[in-house]
Chain A
Amino acid sequence: MGEITFFIDGLKIEANEGDTILRAALEQGIYIPHLCYHPDLKPFGGCRLCTIEIEGRGLTISCKTPVEEGVRVITENPQINKARRIAAELIIANHYSECLQCARNTDCRLQDIATYIGIEEGRLQRLKRTVRDLPIDDSNPFFYRDPNKCVLCGICVRTCEEINGVGAIDFAFRGFATKISTLKDKPITESTCESCGECVDRCPTAALARKGSERPAREVKTICPYCGAGCGIYLGVRGDRVLSARGDRQNPVNNGQLCVKGRFGYDFVNHPDRLTTPLIKRNGTFVEASWDEALDLVVAKFKEAREEYGPEALGGLSSARVTNEDNYLFQKLLRSLGTNSIDHCARL
């Protein structure tokens, strides 16, 4: 267990040295409101919602404060509540308020905070609604960027830099005009963005949201079919349709991360042009056939070729989309046929 013992609201908590108070609290199932904290990223200290008090030291933010032996953390008192409430109200007054029309409705960290704090309409009316009407960037085929729903937590910026090392976006402009921007504020497709969607996955609101807001009825745990890396994914499925994909955080191969193909490249599954049965060209046109028919044809043609020209006339071309094991079996098969001519699309 942990090396450091301290107290949150009188509860004894054990944590690892170097942990922050917020991380330790969340791991113990104690909720402290936060927006800009993400467990995968370095602390940022921007939203100021995770304000707590350390006895004898005054208010501080828990996402940035390391645990210390014996300290007593208070997460709730009138001063903290006031600070937190006002910070939350400021964000809410500056946020799109039509939750029902939002892709992230019921799956939104800001809603969590509003619920936790408890909104008082009378208090909110003291503030001016400051939501701006900024254009939505829909240049990317997979996701929207809606700056009007952005809370400037900076998680996307840090994800892009810390996790992917791309740095396609950053904070830009000053004061109230601050927003997340690409270089020269161009559409995201004209930036260095690789559309991996890691930021979309971490965005606490719908400022970054996948296109197509239908939610799946169930999830299927599987392996991404695209390459041999074997990333674990959950496919979101409704009926026989695949609606979404997300990384499996428990999978040791990818720890939840995905690339653009794994995250967004599932359209083909339900595509009308997708081949669902082998085709055999008869009289110049492809005609549907059964697997037996197709394999029989391949066997026949192989035999024919080998008999006529010798085994060296055969060759095999494998795919990067199959696993290492399959590739291994494939070369075994070809060698058993007597040829060493095997190649792979990844080499081309």
Chain B
Amino acid sequence: MPQPQYKVLVCRGTGCVSGGGDGVYEALRAEVEQQGLHNAGIDFVGCHGFCQQGPNVVVEPDGIFYTQVQVEDVAEIVAAHLRDGKPVERLLYRDPLTGMAVPRYSDINFYIKQRRLILRNCGHINPEKIEDYIERDGYRALRKVLGIMTPEQVIEEIRRSGLRGRGGAGASTAMKWQFCHDTPGPIKYVICNADEGDPGAFMDRSILEADPHAMLEGLTICAYAIGADKGYVYARAEYPLAVRRVRIALAQSRERGFLGKNILGSGFDFDIEIKEGAGAFVCGEETALMASIESRRGMPRPRPPFPATSGLDGKPSNINNVKTLAAVPVIMDEGAQWFSEIGTEKSRGTAVFALTGKIANSGLVEVPMGTPLRDVIFDIGDGIPRGKAFKAVQTGGPSGGCIPARFLDRPVDFESLAQLGSIMGSGGMVVLDENTCMVEIARFFLSFTQAESCGKCTPCRLGTRQMLEILTRITQGRGHDGDIDALLDIARVVKSCSLCGLGQTAPNPVITTINYFRDEYEAHIKEKKCPAAVCDALMISPCQHTCPVGVNVPQYVAAITEGQYGKAVEVIRERNPFPAICGRICHHPCEVRCRRGELDDPVAIRSLKRFAADWYFQNMDVDPEPFRRTRDERVAVVGAGPAGLSCAYFLAQMGYGVTVFEALPVGGGMLSVAIPEFRLPREVIQMEIDYIARKGVEIRYGTPINVNYTLDDLKKEGFEAIYIAAGAQRSQRVGIPGEVEGLEGLHYGLRFLRDVKIGREVTVGGRVAVIGGGNVALDSARTALRFGAEEVNIYYRRSRAEMPVSEVEYEQTVAEGVKINFLVSPTRIVTEGWKVSGLQCVQMKLGEPDDSGRRRPIPIEDSGTFIEADTVIAAVGQAPDLSFLPADSALERTRWETLVVDSNTLATNLPGVFAGGDFVTGPGLVIDAIAAGRRGALAIDRYFRRDASPVQMYDLKGEIAQKPAPEETEEEWEAQPRVPMPILPPEERRRSFDEIERGFSEERGREEAKRCLRCDLET
């Protein structure tokens, strides 16, 4: 069998070269020669676009795509693939979902959804060989234009194609050409704008490096159309490789007669000169660019006159972006009709983006205009690395806007992006994940534009500076009321009154982040909190800062590494009196922000907390000293849930006398009544409540506050302040026909869980249907399973992405055999007699996202189905129950039957009466309830001290954090994944209420604690 003739193409774009592409190229040549192979030609190409995986090597004719090739891999490629015909599997791209190798270029997800038209030759030709370009039909369009078309026909063809400028503003290319064509004058100029200066953008550079002739051919056609005989390519000097390749291309074009006198015998004379710019961002603006070519300061001037009438040297001139010009030959070649069929009505053709930021596949992509952002980011870009959530995407370079998740389904085109407050720009696309602070990102982009302002006009020079000052102040915790308004005021004036595009777009990041992420600004200004845990000045460590109660995580983790478990618990209790409970069921927002998670896995903070707390209760729990009573005032707390008990605990710590009134015979609130035993055993709750009681908090069980024993009675008894934390314990109704309370077989999730937990008799049938998708739904389903149900189905009207439960809980539920059915919504409860017999359901599909960013489910017509079930558990939400308050109570309520409280002090409209936790916010997370308890305690203390300042929960600087950081040394670092939590296997647990998670051993606990990077020690 004859050996195939291979062509090996090594990427030598800037990205791959910096990864070692040049070395790979040389090594391949040497190796092929040394092995005496005659069936393989080694050549190089420009950027393929898949820079994330560079250095890339493609072996044609099969299009085998090797990724991350290093010099050491070369011998194997030559021996195995080129000599023996067997591709080297370990170097192939692997699909991140399946882990399967994808040998061919054309089968990789990154490329499948792309339509590479402007980038048609990039990665396929040697940019330093004009023959390669000609072989792929290069200069055919020029031949056609000069041979058979008049300039007017060329412009007409461009008009019919609908081509718009790819430089940012999206002006009609044909109109610009026509305008310049129609201006009389013996001398005209055409200019290619290759002054790409946005951080994170490399579209134009890649084209110049990979396919310079496409741009040169486009520029020549443009010159012919408008009647110019001189052209300039204005490229930045920071692009040495691009400049070199354009020079080579220019020399080769002249040699071949594509430039110079009498081009292709047509009588048309035209030549091109390169002008290297010094790298001022503003020189991308056309009037500034022309000033720079004229050797004047790159400073824009007002238009009119437009360049088409008075441009370079006062002569009619036309400026187009690299991508616009690169599209021209293919339009002339394939025809306007063909081009105009791609894209949307107003934005024809394709868009090129430099995809960067927190994205799995960084690189250069080209998609038809109108492709949804979601496709670009999640299909081509493969989403956000490390399982983090998408937060926003910034399009159009530093002066584009930040677009939040709820607009991910918007199409990418000029108008849609503008509507969202962003711009197409030159094609930068920076993806931001949940660990991005939107105030800081606005500050970052503005710091660039303000430094790059030419300084000519007032709004841009001084307005951007003032905005930067305000943003910097906010990120440093020195923001104050009115800052947001001042920012918007200035931003709007800078946008509407600046002289050129730089100033007119510079405020976009500020305006869009305020529009879409105002709550983050307010958190910085009012609470001095950075929700993304980015702003250094506001925090000591991201974990502590993210924790709603601000537990000094690094310090207790450090205590664990030192074997001081008791001290670890003390550290936790400074902010959280429930270490054992939170060690089991906290949803641990701290771990999402853990810096270790940027390297491999976040530290298992929650599990370490549990380890320390369990050790404490087993070894240390001798009678603790009660807090000393130092204050005369007495406080009543209504409800012994996590919010109430936390408030009581911290008030006692501050020296107040506290009594908790609990309606039930047990404490713990939702913890005791709603969370099943297998997640949180009763003894654990009791130990923590006992501890709080022994610290001096009086708890009166079975003492409901109601019409017989009112808040006024409490006041009369001498309680000078009252904190209401009565929880959200009223199950919400589904609101569908057939839902009648008391039906046999119909349960409400919360009541069902409570009955189980307090030992009431509960009957569960064989086929259980659970309605809902939250914690209560999952817990109800798992509890039903443990009661012997044969089949448990959860019906949720949205999809997994919208479920508000953690990955661990979801996986554990599925592992136990619960089936979760997404996009199904019950429409009726079907009964036989007084007994449930099933559910009538309808299929849903996801529509446009609502304000919460979750996509709204919409019923699919005629998709109704009947589901048989003898037990239905409705778990669609809970609400506070205000019925214990007399109807004529003076306490102000909202429309939604919750109390009106001040968000900072939790004060109600009645002096001395405060309220917090689920009772105010609706069902939430336990750590938020604890935070509300602590906030209430601090507010009540301020109330007694007549201190009107807002409550602020500063991060604690622990003693260890104050030690100087060790000298930084360059260390070899090795990935060390987190220690897994031992759990009961599903077969054992699905019929048992035993706790599933078993906790760390001492050895494993200390091992895990040592993974902490101690970023709190940063100086």
Contact = CB atoms under 8 A, between A and B. Distances in A.
Given A51-B497, A59-B497, A175-B465, A152 B302 contact: no
Nearest to A42: B301
Nearest to B448: A175
B454 A178 contact: yes
A90 B469 contact: no
B501 to A, nearest CB: 14
B453 A174 contact: yes
A46 B450 contact: no
Contacts of A47: 457-458
A93 B470 CA distance: 14
Interface string B593-619: 000000000000000000000000000
A128 interface: yes
Given A48-B498, A130-B465, A174 B457 contact: no
Interface stretch (B412-420, B485-493, B717-725): B485-493
Contacts of A90: 458-459, 462-463, 466, 490
Interface stretch (A79-87, A316-324, A340-348): A79-87
A232 interface: no
Interface in A93-146: 93-94, 126-128, 130
B299 A171 contact: yes
Contacts of B498: 48
Q: Pick from A47, A61, A86, A93 the residue with the most CB of B within 10 Å.
A: A86
Interface in A297-340: none
B457 A48 contact: yes
A154 B300 CA distance: 13
Contact of B463 (A44, A86, A126, A154): A86
A83 B496 contact: yes
A204 interface: no
Interface residues of B, number: 36
Contact of A91 (B458, B473, B497): B458
A176 B457 contact: no
B112 interface: no
Contacts of B2: none
Contact of B466 (A51, A127, A170, A172): A127
Contacts of B458: 46-49, 87, 90-91, 152
A178 B466 CA distance: 15
A176 B489 contact: no
Given A86-B489, A93-B466, A175-B455, A152 B461 contact: yes
Contacts of A262: none
Given A90-B466, A128-B469, A174 B493 contact: no
Nearest to A126: B486
Given A90-B463, A93-B466, A128-B469, A171 B455 contact: yes
A286 interface: no
B304 to A, nearest CB: 9
Contacts of A128: 466, 469-470, 473
Given A154-B456, A175-B453, A82 B493 contact: yes
Interface in B262-310: 280, 282, 297, 299, 301-302
Contacts of A94: 462, 465
Nearest to B300: A45
A172 B299 CA distance: 10
A86 to B, nearest CB: 4
Interface in B484-531: 486, 489-490, 492-493, 496-499
Q: Pick from A171, A172, A176 the residue with the most CB of B within 10 Å.
A: A176
B575 to A, nearest CB: 35
Contact of A175 (B464, B469, B473, B497): B464
A345 B473 CA distance: 67
Interface residues of A, number: 34
A72 interface: no
Nearest to A130: B465
B493 A178 contact: no
A130 B466 contact: yes
Contacts of B868: none
Contact of A170 (B297, B463, B473, B497): B297
B461 A178 contact: yes
Interface string B436-460: 0000000000000011111111110
A223 B865 CA distance: 105
A91 to B, nearest CB: 6
B482 interface: yes
Interface string A36-67: 00000001111111010000000101001000
Nearest to A49: B458
Contacts of B451: 174-176
Q: Pick from B456, B458, B469, B497 the residue with the most CB of A within 10 Å.
A: B458
A263 to B, nearest CB: 28
Contacts of B461: 152, 175-176, 178
A173 interface: yes
Contacts of B302: 43, 45, 61, 64
B493 to A, nearest CB: 4
B452 A175 contact: yes
A46 B280 contact: no
Contacts of B465: 94, 130, 175-176
A174 B496 contact: no
Given A126-B486, A128-B469, A171 B493 contact: no
A127 B462 CA distance: 11
A87 B493 contact: yes
Contacts of B473: 128
Given A45-B301, A48-B459, A90-B466, A175 B450 contact: yes
B562 to A, nearest CB: 46
Nearest to B298: A174
Q: Pick from A45, A82, A91, A173 the residue with the most CB of B within 10 Å.
A: A45
Going nearest first, the 6 A-B pairs with the smallest beta carbon separation are A178-B455, A90-B462, A45-B302, A126-B486, A86-B493, A128-B469
Given A90-B462, A174-B282, A175-B451, 15 more contacts: A45-B301, A45-B302, A47-B457, A64-B302, A82-B492, A83-B493, A83-B497, A90-B458, A90-B466, A91-B462, A126-B486, A130-B462, A130-B465, A171-B456, A174-B280
Interface of B: 280, 282, 297, 299, 301-302, 450-459, 461-466, 469-470, 473, 482-483, 486, 489-490, 492-493, 496-499
25 contacts: A44-B456, A45-B302, A83-B493, A83-B496, A83-B497, A87-B459, A90-B459, A90-B463, A90-B490, A91-B462, A93-B462, A94-B465, A126-B482, A127-B469, A130-B462, A130-B465, A152-B461, A171-B454, A174-B282, A174-B452, A174-B453, A175-B464, A175-B465, A178-B454, A178-B455
Interface of A: 43-49, 51, 59, 61, 64, 82-83, 86-87, 90-91, 93-94, 126-128, 130, 152, 154, 170-178
